[in-house]
Chains A and B, each alone.
Chain A
Amino acid sequence: MKFCTVKQYFDDENNNNVTNGIATTVIPLPNKHLKIKANNKEMEQYEQELLRNVMPQELTKLILAANYLNFKEALDFFCRTVANAIQNKSVDYVRKFFGLESDFEPGEEEKLCKEFAWSFEGVDED
């Protein structure tokens, strides 16, 4: 299916969704992914490299491109990379990472944290 979408893209000259540069990065990705699929360590390194070297705005565009082009492997990879980057981080970090601001009413966020967060947090085996 992904090749159909790509073909459609190249046929459709009015398409602004995916710039050339992004397509150049995204389309070869499955090959790289397949090549190093067997080796988790290398994958992790590639992921780190990607996060370090690719400008945040570019990563955004990569994800959107992968989504539009329906590249499942690419989308999985990028989303997983982003998910790993925000694991075990504070809410503030996550907000900064995505360039978002809280739009909760004053006190609402605190209420959420207090009332709901801990009802559903695990401890240990006993």
Chain B
Amino acid sequence: MKMMMGSSFPEEVLEHVFSFIERDKDRNAISTVCQSWYEIERWSRRRVFVGNCYAVSPAILIKRFPDVRCLELKGKPHFADFNLVPEGWGAYVAPWIAAASSAYPWLEEIRLKRMVIPDDSLELISKSFKNFKVLVLSSCEGFSTEGLAAIAANCRNLRELDLRESEVEDLNQSSGHWLSHFPDNYTSLVSLNIACLNSEVSFTALERLVGRCPNLRTLRLNRAVPLDRLAILLHRAPQLVELGTGEASDLRPDVLSNLLGAFSRCKELKSLSGFWDVAPGYLTGVYPICPRLTSLNLSYAATIQSSDLIKLVSQCQNLQKLWVLDYIEDLGLEALAASCKDLRELRVFPSEPFGVEPNVLLTEQGLVSVSEGCPKLHSVLYFCRQMSNDALRTIARNRPNMTRFRLCIIEPRTPDYLTLESLDMGFGAIVEHCNDLRRLSLSGLLTDRVFEYIGTYGKKLEMLSVAFAGDSDLGLHHILSGCENLRKLEIRDCPFGDKALLANAAKLETMRSLWMSSCSVSFGACKLLGQKMPMLNVEVIDERGPPDSRPESCPVEKLYIYRTVSGPRLDMPGFVWTKDEDSALGLS
């Protein structure tokens, strides 16, 4: 349908229309309609997501969007989670915070993932943004409880403080008292996640804080808060929707009955996590709320065995998300499939990832059961020790609605245990049947064939993780030339080299990033790529000294390629090499 409006809309009306358009893709589209729309859009964009902090600079961001209220940044590549990125690599957020502190006085939300944030930056945040509401630090590091104290003391409008999986240092012994820096008249807390804190927090301060914040919905405690104190907190906050317990190793009947009483008053509770070292007897305390639960994270409950897990999940008919250890075993997953028809996401973590022999009865069968019984299951992370093409085919046919499929067969290059063949066909079935697959992690014995399947069928694939797979450059070529929507590719220990990389150089400009470690890419190819493609930063990570000191054909240790509009970064450590380095300049 056509409209003949054009210039008859006053600016405020256009702004009003734009205020209902939130997705980045849509905002980017409307900003390129014409010059006046570009201007209106850029002044009214409030939420910005920067998927790679080195893809753009603070100055460029601020110049384009002068009035941002919510900023999200991601730093290190995903494989940093597996300790593949050396200390000191980068992802420093300080320059961003410094720039934002003067440019965005009305900033309300900062979300960071895998970035380094010093206490100074936390203090600057707490003093620069009068309306600051949300701070989420996901897998971040570089700060201590001192920084948290500044946030607590100064952010009068703080609603959310979420430290998920960050590393927080404790500089002094009275560290737990950062919580008491929240002023007595501060009551706006809605969400607090301190599960990752290793040190103790002052329980008195915590109790008073919880008691005076009537809108508190999410409370994820750390290990150090014992279960007997939990009942006290729950009595203060019966309106909680999401709760993470502390540790619970000592089973005491009085504590259990207090807990039962406290839980019975929490009518809104839908999500549970924590349970470090929980004594199985305490689980009965949870039974009354099981039917209401939509999310359960038992990945730290290393003391709960299969039979208790079965009893628990069988009562969670409304469960949508389950994260659990492989102690659940095939039998437990069968029970899950039978009871939890609304399940959308399943993650099964290994209890003993470095053991040689299987310690639990968890096989491919568990995942097959869940794929059969749970029609809404679309997101899977599954660690196991054996898999077959048959099982993967069955899973693919059962769940064509799969969007995220991450399979981790613990031992590299494990073949189909029934036929001893590669798992090419099985993963091929996954990409062929699951037309909406956006995320895929491969494992097991795989040849170049699987990449041919992925290149042919994986048209919606956005992120792919590959390890110990493939035979030759052809494998990499299939992925880069076939997967039209590929944004992030991470590869380790595969025989992929220069040819496929150089032949698909243009593709790299359409992606956010490519990581390759322990592959066969030469420094010569890296230099060439860097020269050919000025919109890419081609960074070699090599701790063995200047790449020039080795033959040009010698493969680099690690390689991180990403597109950027702000040129080479200025904060590269000594072990990162680009096309501009030579042995003399490479030392810093």
Q: Which residues of A contact B (CB under 8 A)?
A: 51, 56-57, 59-60, 63-64, 67, 75-76, 79-80, 82-84, 86-91, 94-104, 109, 112-113, 115-126
**Bound-state Cα–Cα, A87 to B29, Å:** 9
**Bound-state Cα–Cα, A110 to B527, Å:** 28
Residue contact A63 to B488, C-beta cutoff 8 Å: no
Residues of A within 8 A of B37 (CB): 100
Contact of B32 among A97, A112, A124, A126 (CB under 8 A): A112
Residues of B within 8 A of A113 (CB): 28, 32
Q: Check: B438 CB closer than 8 A to any chain A CB.
A: yes
Residues of B within 8 A of A97 (CB): 1-3
In this complex, how many residues of chain B approach chain A with their Cβ under 8 Å: the count is 51
Contact of B29 among A79, A91, A99 (CB under 8 A): A91
Residue contact B9 to A99, C-beta cutoff 8 Å: no
**Bound-state Cα–Cα, A89 to B51, Å:** 23
Q: Check: B38 CB closer than 8 A to any chain A CB.
A: yes
Residue contact B24 to A121, C-beta cutoff 8 Å: yes
**Bound-state Cα–Cα, A86 to B30, Å:** 9
Residue contact A87 to B33, C-beta cutoff 8 Å: no
Contact of A124 among B4, B5, B23, B462 (CB under 8 A): B462
Q: Which 4 residue pairs across A and B have the least CB separation, nearest first?
A: A83-B20, A56-B3, A119-B56, A117-B28
Determine chain B's interface SS by DSSP, over half rule.
mixed
Known pairs A96-B2, A123-B462 / 9 extra A-B pairs, C-beta < 8 Å? A63-B13, A64-B9, A64-B10, A67-B13, A79-B17, A99-B3, A100-B34, A112-B38, A124-B463
Q: Check: B563 CB closer than 8 A to any chain A CB.
A: yes
Residues of B within 8 A of A104 (CB): 32, 34-35
Residue contact A91 to B32, C-beta cutoff 8 Å: yes
Contact of B488 among A51, A109, A123 (CB under 8 A): A123
Residue contact B4 to A122, C-beta cutoff 8 Å: no
Residue contact B439 to A94, C-beta cutoff 8 Å: no
Residue contact B49 to A120, C-beta cutoff 8 Å: yes
Q: Check: B8 CB closer than 8 A to any chain A CB.
A: yes
Residue contact B24 to A103, C-beta cutoff 8 Å: no
Determine chain A's interface SS by DSSP, over half rule.
helix
Contact of B3 among A57, A64, A80, A116 (CB under 8 A): A57
Residue contact B2 to A90, C-beta cutoff 8 Å: no
**Bound-state Cα–Cα, A90 to B25, Å:** 10
Select from chain A the residue with minimum beta-carbon distance to B72.
A122
Residue contact A121 to B49, C-beta cutoff 8 Å: yes
Residue contact A109 to B32, C-beta cutoff 8 Å: yes
Contact of B64 among A116, A118, A125 (CB under 8 A): A116
CB distance from A62 to the nearest CB of B (A): 11
What are 5 A-B residue pairs whose CB atoms fall within 8 Å in the complex?
A87-B23, A96-B2, A100-B33, A112-B32, A113-B28
Q: In B42-92, which residues have CB < 8 Å from any A CB? A: 48-51, 55-56, 60-61, 64, 78
Residues of B within 8 A of A80 (CB): 20
**Bound-state Cα–Cα, A75 to B20, Å:** 12
Residues of A within 8 A of B184 (CB): none
Q: With A57-B3, A64-B8, A98-B3 given, is the CB distance from A112 to B29 under 8 Å?
A: no
Residues of B within 8 A of A82 (CB): 17
CB distance from B484 to the nearest CB of A (A): 14
CB distance from A30 to the nearest CB of B (A): 17
Q: Check: B506 CB closer than 8 A to any chain A CB.
A: no
Q: Check: B21 CB closer than 8 A to any chain A CB.
A: yes
Contact of A121 among B33, B51, B404 (CB under 8 A): B51
**Bound-state Cα–Cα, A109 to B33, Å:** 9
Contact of A126 among B1, B29, B439 (CB under 8 A): B439
Q: With A87-B23, A94-B33 given, is the CB distance from A99 to B6 under 8 Å?
A: yes
Q: Check: B26 CB closer than 8 A to any chain A CB.
A: yes
CB distance from A42 to the nearest CB of B (A): 19
Q: Check: B159 CB closer than 8 A to any chain A CB.
A: no
**Bound-state Cα–Cα, A116 to B61, Å:** 9
**Bound-state Cα–Cα, A101 to B524, Å:** 47
Q: With A57-B4, A97-B2, A119-B50 given, is the CB distance from A75 to B32 under 8 Å?
A: no
Residues of B within 8 A of A122 (CB): 24, 49, 51
Q: With A116-B565, A120-B50, A123-B512 given, is the CB distance from A102 to B17 under 8 Å?
A: no
Q: With A56-B4, A59-B3, A83-B17 given, is the CB distance from A120 to B29 under 8 Å?
A: no
Residue contact B51 to A102, C-beta cutoff 8 Å: no
Q: Check: B31 CB closer than 8 A to any chain A CB.
A: yes
**Bound-state Cα–Cα, A34 to B24, Å:** 31
Select from chain B the residue with minimum beta-carbon distance to A59.
B3
**Bound-state Cα–Cα, A124 to B33, Å:** 27
**Bound-state Cα–Cα, A121 to B56, Å:** 12
Select from chain B the residue with minimum beta-carbon distance to A94.
B33
Select from chain A the residue with minimum beta-carbon distance to B566.
A119
Residue contact B23 to A118, C-beta cutoff 8 Å: no
Q: Check: B544 CB closer than 8 A to any chain A CB.
A: no
Select from chain A the residue with minimum beta-carbon distance to B13.
A67
Residue contact B24 to A98, C-beta cutoff 8 Å: no
Residues of A within 8 A of B33 (CB): 91, 94-95, 98, 100, 102
Select from chain A the residue with minimum beta-carbon distance to B486.
A123
CB distance from A116 to the nearest CB of B (A): 6
**Bound-state Cα–Cα, A12 to B50, Å:** 52
Q: With A120-B50, A122-B49 given, is the CB distance from A98 to B6 under 8 Å?
A: yes
CB distance from A94 to the nearest CB of B (A): 5
CB distance from A54 to the nearest CB of B (A): 10
Contact of A56 among B1, B61, B78 (CB under 8 A): B1
CB distance from A105 to the nearest CB of B (A): 9
Which of A56, A116, A120, A125 counts the most B-chain CB atoms under 10 A from its CB?
Answer: A120
Residues of B within 8 A of A125 (CB): 439
Select from chain A the residue with minimum beta-carbon distance to B565.
A115
Residue contact A94 to B30, C-beta cutoff 8 Å: yes
Residues of B within 8 A of A95 (CB): 33-34
**Bound-state Cα–Cα, A124 to B462, Å:** 8
**Bound-state Cα–Cα, A90 to B61, Å:** 24
Residues of B within 8 A of A100 (CB): 6, 33-34, 37
